Amino acid sequence: MTRLLAFVLLVLTTGAAQGEAVEHGAYAGFHSREIKALSASDMEGLRLGRGMAQALPAELNGYPGPMHVLELADALNLTEEQRERTEQAYANMRARSIELGEQVIESERELDRLFAERHATLEEVNRLTEQAARLWGQLRAVHLEYHLHMLTVLDDEQVRRYSHLRSYGSDGHRH
């Protein structure tokens, strides 16, 4: 028993030490980013209006997303009207997301520039972080809005089928 306890303590302390070492170098390479807080993938996602997992509460609770509905259009047996409504929803969601995404990028760029130029003040940091948070929130709300909208386009069976096809289970329930 003493050996087991000693082994467990060794594993835990070794893991903590390794975690600490990783944490110290966690931002290595970030200094060369165009905007320090955004990866190239983040920038691309924002510029292309991608969901970037912002609608997971909806998606994983039975609210289909328009892009994925279009990908599964044949398997969901969409009518022509449903297909057109989904295409329009996706186009609207994407246009709004791209616009907000560009605003998020500019807000993050301004915050980054403030620090890079050594002009950061508490007042400006508060203003810019609140602005960025508001924009990120609006962007997320847009994606969630269109997941809600899809419940007006699809019938209950299509929603269940969607959840099954996306491997979320078969409960795809409406709330």
Alpha carbon separation from 78 to 62, 75, 81, 83, 85 (Å, rounded): 17, 8, 8, 6, 10
Q: What is the pLDDT of residue 75?
A: 97
pLDDT interval class at 90 (50, 70, 90): very high
Q: What is the pLDDT of residue 170?
A: 52
Quote the CA–CA distance of 159 and 139 in Å, as a whole number.
24
Nearest residue to 46 via CA among 146, 145, 143: 143
pLDDT, one tens digit per residue, over 120-169 is 999 999 999 999 999 999 999 999 999 999 999 999 999 999 999 998 86
pLDDT interval class at 7 (50, 70, 90): very low
Q: What is the pLDDT of residue 21?
A: 44
Average pLDDT, the chain: 87
Q: Percent of the chain scored above 70 by pLDDT?
A: 82
pTM beyond 0.85: no
Quote the CA–CA distance of 81 and 165 in Å, as a whole number.
21
CATH class of 33-165: mainly alpha
Q: What is the pLDDT of residue 23?
A: 55
Higher pLDDT, 63 or 31: 63
DSSP state at residue 38: S
Q: Would you say residue 20 has pLDDT above 80?
A: no
Nearest residue to 115 via CA among 128, 102, 133: 128
Q: What is the pLDDT of residue 85?
A: 98
Quote the CA–CA distance of 62 and 108 in Å, as a whole number.
33
Q: What is the pLDDT of residue 140?
A: 97
Q: What is the DSSP annotation of 56-115?
A: HHHHTTT---HHHHHHTTTTTT--HHHHHHHHHHHHHHHHHHHHHHHHHHHHHHHHHHHH
